[in-house]
Amino acid sequence: MSLMSQLSTASWAWVRLPGRRQEDCCRTCCPPARPGSEMTQSFGSGDYTDFYSSRHHATNVGVMFRGTENPLMPNWLHLPVGYHGRASSVVVSGTPIRRPKGQMRPDDSKPPVYGACKLLDFELETAFFVGPGNKFGEPIPISKAHEHIFGMVLMNDWSARDIQKWEYVPLGPFLGKSFGTTISPWVVPMDALMPFAVPNQEQDPKPLPYLRHDQPYTFDINLSVTLKGEGMNQAATVCRSNFKYMYWTMLQQLTHHSVNGCNLRPGDLLASGTISGPEPESFGCMLELSWKGTRAIELGNGQTRKFLLDGDEVIITGQCQGDGYRIGFGQCAGKVLPALSAA
């Protein structure tokens, strides 16, 4: 099976390079994936892993839930933290997302309850597809990691914060994440993104030798998130961020993923985790933008949000700006449907 056929969830990107006209796009032979099509229904044999690699995001969440003295967990500065997600519920842009149900404990003094999520959130992320895999039991050294990364997509890792809060101890995310993850329809190859590489974030303390690399592998990708609720004439921008804020690089993520001998396969999807910058307007999820629901996010014309409402459409866009040309990823969009009523 060819690499292209194994990466059937999204089409290859058409990259607009200098001098290339829009109408030269190979949309006829490489059409974008569409909601509900065979291309969007599963990854085949692909797996999905989500990391937690933005220091700004991890620090903000730590401050909210643990205070300012020790916002980062002891392991965070030593390895790219991640968890195995659910590949079957990764869908292409335009696919509606149903508000999930599950267990929550909104009042810590009372027993848990079952019902529809009330604290639904988006997460601004990117992700990359693995190209060539590795043999079972044989780690990928960081010097070879770039050879195993094919290309990138935008991602919205939808999150049910109230379900997540109750269930995540001690094993991490489960039903609060697995109900839906949206990706953009074009895979942008790394060769097209290399001109936009910028110096990596300084890492202190230095990671262990197997995670060290000098190659710039952080990228200047401008990212934005807009939200359009029912009755709104136009979408409101709620976040402007950049992939260059990431602390752990994709090379480190892939190398760490395989260091125990885990075999990665062509088409596996590895995600960045929420991408937040240093300023409030660059926070990459509503949990941060509303600071755990204590601040209203202004959308204009009297509309505000703390978390997502039914009918809200979230649209993530990203682009690299070159000299006279631009490389984009297509939209990563999804609209929230109401929870199913009780049978």
Q: Are 283 and 239 in contact (CB under 8 A)?
A: yes
Residue 78 bears catalytic tag: no
Tokens of 20: 């290339």
Per annotation, catalytic residue among 57, 213, 256, 257: 57
Q: What angle do CA 329, 333, 339 make, to 5 degrees?
A: 155
Tokens of 332: 């990563």
Q: What b/e string do you get for 195-212 counting C-beta neighbours within 10 Å, with b at 16 or more?
A: ebeeebbebeeebeeebe
Q: What b/e string do you get for 103-138 counting C-beta neighbours within 10 Å, with b at 16 or more?
A: ebeeeeeeeeeeebbebbbbbbbbbbbbbebbeeee
Beta bridge partners of 149: 130
CA 184 to CA 167: how far, in whole Å? 29
- Could you say which DSSP state residue 285 is in? B
Residues annotated catalytic, as ranges: 57
